[in-house]
Structure 1
Amino acid sequence: MNNKTAIVTGTSSGFGLSTTIELAQKGFTVIAAMRNSHKSSSLLQEASKHGVESKIIVFELDVTNEQSILSFQTRVLDEFGRVDVLVNNAGFAGAGFVEEVSMDEYRNQFETNVFGVFAVTKAFLPLMRKQNRGCIINVSSISGKVAFPGLSPYSASKHAIEGWSESLRLEMLPFGVKVVLIEPGSYKTNIWSTGKQVAQESLQSDSPYQEYMMSIEKYIAEGENSFGDPLDVAKKIAEIATTEKPDLRYPIGRGVKTTIFLKNLLPWRLWEKIIINKLFKK
């Protein structure tokens, strides 16, 4: 285990930060990729607290920039020559009603959450295939299985990752490379802080969706006290990374498995009635 190398993207906070620490504690040398290395202080402080700072190397990586990915790939291959685990975690959550979300906002969402994952993964697939081993863990979401109103940019991006990961898993299994999806529910991370700027359009007084969006915001706010600890997701990712034969999907979080089960079980008309009644109360 001491020689194994893991890459984690989006490590300046949230799941990425905690996952980096957990993997380092399990003996991995962790390449902590983030868009701006100046934001690494929280990660490095946490690493020092756990005595694993020597196991973590911060690399800059913008998953939406082809040149940045190429430079990152070259540096990893030159300095390490192997990648045992790749955790595609970098992402943000865009929100708003479809009519009011611009095409540029949709494209920005997909550039990070979808095409960024594709590009970073493709950069290391040849190496993993030649190694005849490796584990690719894609951080999806319950929103990749269950769509909610006002979250179409984010939900669409995660649905895309779900389908793509299924295909990739079937392609890579014969080469000893495992592809896994982890599907968290609501956790105490800052993923919504970037997406909020999109949602503002639907919160304006002249928006026909204002009342609906306010109902959704209220529903989310009322449930914030029950949001999970990101460390639980990080521990699960570290567990998956050291599992010989991991499953394809790992739903995690309060009510996640039940929600997915009910959505798949109930007739659509009943499901949509439940969602509308819960989220849009006049």
Structure 2
Amino acid sequence: MNLTNKLAIVTGVSKGIGYATVEALLDKGAIVAGWGRTAPKISHPNFQFYLTDVQQSESVQDSYDATTNDLGKDVAVLINNAGFGFRGDFDKTPTDTWTSMFKTNVDGIFYCSRLVIPQMKANDQGHIINIASIAGTLSVPNMVGYAGSKHAVRGISHAMYMELREYGIKVTAIYPGSVKTNFFDKVEGIDAHDNMMMPEDIAGTILHTLESSDNYHHVDIEVRPLRPKGKQNA
């Protein structure tokens, strides 16, 4: 897809992968609607922020209506990036934290995607990218809720791509390993560090996927840091 003047929605844009993805899309000439609970420090004529809580279908609907009305374009790209995790014993996970994880990481994909799909079908083109995690491919002790939600993202993404591919719509799931972001601010016992991947690395992968030829479809992409513990002595 040629991203010039295409309308892209990115969720979870205040920091990290979402922020880096917005900047990368703007560099490619896209028009970007950033959805989130906190506005990023991005000032660009092609960027508009919309206060959005992806846990709430009404909030998502309001942001979608405002986005399409304000920007006057059909949505060509949706990046479902909003998400968070909790680390702790399974039996000590607060029930409200568990519920909030699934509402953000799973329900948010449904609320956002269902709105853009009809116009993507009508245009015979579109690309939805769901940011999952390696926790969606592996069992992760002490992060049961997060792993469960990201396994759900994987299943949803696979079913979506099989359902939508005949309409010219691509659906891609990306499974990053550790990325140096504020995600770890709320994950007890793990600190972000320079041996992790950078948000710009993931944004680059997203651009590569979006700019692929029309009949070339990335379904799953797993990415990890090469040396997560730094360079080791031989």
Equivalent runs, 1:15-164 vs 2, <5 Å? 15-37=17-39, 40-41=40-41, 43-44=42-43, 53-79=44-70, 80-164=72-156
Q: Which structure is higher in helix share?
A: 1
1:231-260 Cα shifts (integer Å, max 9, x gaps): 11011111111112231011112259xxxx
Letter matched to residue 87 of structure 2: A
Match of 1:191 in 2: 183
Which whole-Å CA distance do the structure 2 matches of 1:242 and 1:225 have between them? 28
Q: Deviations over 1:162-189 (max 9, x none)?
A: 0010000000001010000111100110
Count of aligned residue pairs for this structure pair: 222
Question: What SS does the aligned partner of 2:75 have?
Answer: coil
- Counterpart pick for 1:10 among 12, 33, 39: 12
Say whether residues 1:246 and 2:217 are aligned partners.
yes
Q: Check conservation: 1:184, 1:251, Cα contact below 8 A.
A: yes
Distance 2:52 2:96 in 1: 22
**Deviation for aligned residue 1:195:** 4.2
Unaligned runs of 5+ in 2: 228-234
Find the counterpart in structure 2 of residue 202 from structure 1. Answer: none
TM-score by structure 2 length? 0.89
CA distance in 2, matches of 1:77, 1:11: 18
Provide the C-alpha distance between the structure 1 equivalents of 2:64 and 2:193, rounded to a whole number of angstroms. Answer: 38
CA distances 1:166-217 after superposition (whole Å, capped 9, x unpaired): 0000000010100001111001101122344xxxxxxxxxxxxxxxxxxxx3
Identical positions, percent: 31
Normalised by the length of structure 1, the TM-score is 0.75
Deviates more, 1:23-32 or 1:96-105: 96-105
CA distance in 1, matches of 2:98, 2:28: 37
Aligned-residue offset at 1:68: 1.0
- Cα distance in 1 for partners of 2:208, 2:45 equals 21
Tell me the CA shift for residue 74 of structure 1: 1.0
Please give the alpha-carbon distance, in whole angstroms, between the structure 2 residues aligned to 1:194 and 1:123.
30
Whether 2:227 is the aligned partner of 1:235: answer no
Contact 2:180 2:194 in 1 (8 A): no
Identify if the C-alpha distance between structure 1 residues 119 and 195 changes in structure 2 by more than 3 Å, giving closer, same or farther.
farther
RMSD of aligned residue pairs (Cα, Å): 1.7
SS in 2 for 1:108: helix
- Spell out structure 1 runs of 4+ moving beyond 4 A: none
**Structure number with bigger Rg:** 1
In the alignment, the residues of structure 1 paired with residue 151 and residue 51 of structure 2 have an alpha-carbon distance, to the nearest angstrom, of 27
Secondary structure in 1 aligned to 2:225? coil
Say which SS state the counterpart of residue 247 (structure 1) adopts.
Answer: coil
Q: What residue number does 1:278 align with? A: none
Partner residue of 2:232? none
Aligned to 1:270: none
